[in-house]
Structure 1
Amino acid sequence: MAGMIRKSLNEPEETRPFEEGKGRLDLVHLEAGGVGRAVFEPGWQWSKHVKPIVHTDSCEAAHAGYVLSGRIKVVMNDGQEEEFGAGDYMQVPPGHDAWIVGDEQCVVLDWQGYADYAKRQD
């Protein structure tokens, strides 16, 4: 049995900034994958601030996470849509766009989809 592990998102092992200063992803690496905290600034939209980094038509990450603050709207490629806010668990499959709703910063913890999220593909 493995021992305890302590890592802090306040001291991330990696930080990936979004385009135009619209936020960042703080990431810690674990054997089972990454755990991340994304900070999305008002006006952030995946198709404007992450798509130019990853070069895919839509977000191809699957997300399992928890919204700590703010609101985010997710629209699937098939048209299904949902809005998530503080206190909500969110599970979102690959193939979507998303954007911040309102003027409040949105902070999301994710333990599934952030290992390769916003990873620069040049």
Structure 2
Amino acid sequence: MAGIVRKSFDQADETRPFQDGKGRLDVIETTGGAVGRAVFEPGWRWSEHIKPLAGTDSCEAAHTGYVVSGRIKVVMNDGASEEYGPGDFMQIDPGHDAWVVGDEPCVALDWTGYGTYAKPAS
């Protein structure tokens, strides 16, 4: 691969729609792994719209990312929680639920957790 790369999420290598039309994940493959842009629509909740695809009780992906727009609340299995909004860096361990806060879509970029996110369990 060349020493300089340009890709667009608008022409992602893969797009994974969420259940009930509540958003999508656009994935770009890089030499360092998958990078994703998630668009979580108002009303989206991991336990309702991704859990059936993941087949786990909570999200088991670790996330390292950045919120571009909108707001998302994350609650860990142990009850710890945080709300993220535009400009926030986020680092989240496996074992959590999450949902959109408010009536604006939440757009987030993630460098670690979207490689297999929202893929049906095999």
Which whole-Å CA distance do the structure 1 matches of 2:30 and 2:51 have between them?
A: 25
- How far does the alpha carbon of each residue in 1:16-68 deviate from its partner, in whole angstroms, 9 at most, with x for none? 00000000000001122100100000000000000001101100110010000
Which whole-Å CA distance do the structure 1 matches of 2:2 and 2:93 have between them?
A: 31
Structure 1 gaps, min length 5? none
One-letter code of the match for 1:8?
S
Structure 1 ranges of 4+ moved more than 4 A: none
Task: State the match for 1:20 in structure 2.
Answer: 20
Task: State the match for 1:115 in structure 2.
Answer: 115
What is the TM-score when the length of structure 2 is the normalising length? 0.96
Task: State the match for 1:29 in structure 2.
Answer: 29
Structure 2 gaps, min length 5? none
Equivalent pairs, count: 122
Which whole-Å CA distance do the structure 2 matches of 1:59 and 1:91 have between them?
A: 14
Overall identity of the aligned pairs, in %: 67
Task: State the match for 1:61 in structure 2.
Answer: 61
- How far the C-alpha of 1:2 sits from its partner, in A, is 5.2
